[in-house]
Amino acid sequence: MDDIKESAFFMDTTIHYYLNPQGLTYEDFGGEMVAVNFDTGKYYGLTGSALTIWQALLSPRTVDELVELLELKYSEGEHDIREMTEKFIKILEGEGLLLQIQSPNLQLNSDEERRPFVAPNLEVHTDLQELIMLDPVHDTDPERGWPVRKAEPRATPDT
């Protein structure tokens, strides 16, 4: 946690982040989200304020803009909004889920009643990686993925 706080101090506040659409699909299930990256085979559970951040990242946002949005939407909870946002952006970046772009800042507003801030959380799951990379919901080209059947053992030639 300390490492993240320290490195977050140097975060470039002019960078605009947005979701990398490559291979990504996501579904909202009543305030909790599942995202699947078909290119890496990982799937994710997003809880807390992660859903708000994720939806905001459909358009390019700076960290400042995200913090501003969250401060409009949430009152202070037990977590620091900026610290948690910076940490979460780093996690998303580390998972390859974000791209960066330079673009003008966007106006943010929220008419919703503010609720106490809940830290964004990203659960990372790799246990179906092989199947997801094969695309489990329809036929696809399985050449990219594992597991492939192991080769039959070959008889050792007589010497």
Partner 1 sequence: MTNHPSVAVVMPVRNGEKFIEDALRSIQSQEISVSEIHVVNDGSTDRTLAIVERMRAADDRISVHDGPCKGPGPARNVAIRAAKADIISFLDCDDLWPAHKLELQIARMQAAPRVGVVSGFVQYFDKQIEDGLAPAKDSRTDEVFHAHLGATIYRRSVLDEVGLFDESFLYSEDVDLMLRVREAEVPFTILNAITLYYRRHDSSMTTTVTPHEKRDFSRALFNSMKRRKLAGRTEPLAAFADLVED
- Residue 89 in contact with partner 1, rule: CB under 8 A: no
Q: What character string, x for contact with partner 1 (CB under 8 A) and - otherwise, covers 40-79? A: ---x-x----------------------------------
- Residue 21 in contact with partner 1, rule: CB under 8 A: no
Range list of H helices, 9-146? 50-56, 63-73, 81-94, 129-134
- Residue 130 in contact with partner 1, rule: CB under 8 A: yes
Which position among 21, 94, 116, 136 is part of the footprint of partner 1 (CB under 8 A)? 136
From the list 93, 14, 81, 12, the residue with the least C-alpha distance to 52 is 81
- Residue 118 in contact with partner 1, rule: CB under 8 A: no
State the Cα–Cα distance between residues 149 and 26, nearest whole angstrom: 31
Burial class (CB in 10 A: 0-12, 13-18, 19+), 137: exposed
Stretch that binds partner 1, among 25-33, 65-73, 95-103, 112-120 (CB under 8 A): 25-33
CA dihedral 105, 57, 144, 124 (to 10 degrees): 140
Residue number, 12 or 152, with CB nearest to partner 1: 152
From the list 159, 129, 136, 104, the residue with the least C-alpha distance to 41 is 129
- Residue 135 in contact with partner 1, rule: CB under 8 A: yes
Size of the site for partner 1 (CB under 8 A): 32
Please report how close the Cβ of residue 77 comes to partner 1 at its closest, in angstroms.
20
Residue number, 106 or 131, with CB nearest to partner 1: 131
Strand pairing partners for 16?
101
Contact (Cβ atoms closer than 8 angstroms) between residue 58 and residue 18 = yes
Name the site residues for partner 1 (rule: CB under 8 A): 25-27, 29, 32, 34, 36, 43, 45, 123, 125-131, 134-139, 141-143, 145-150
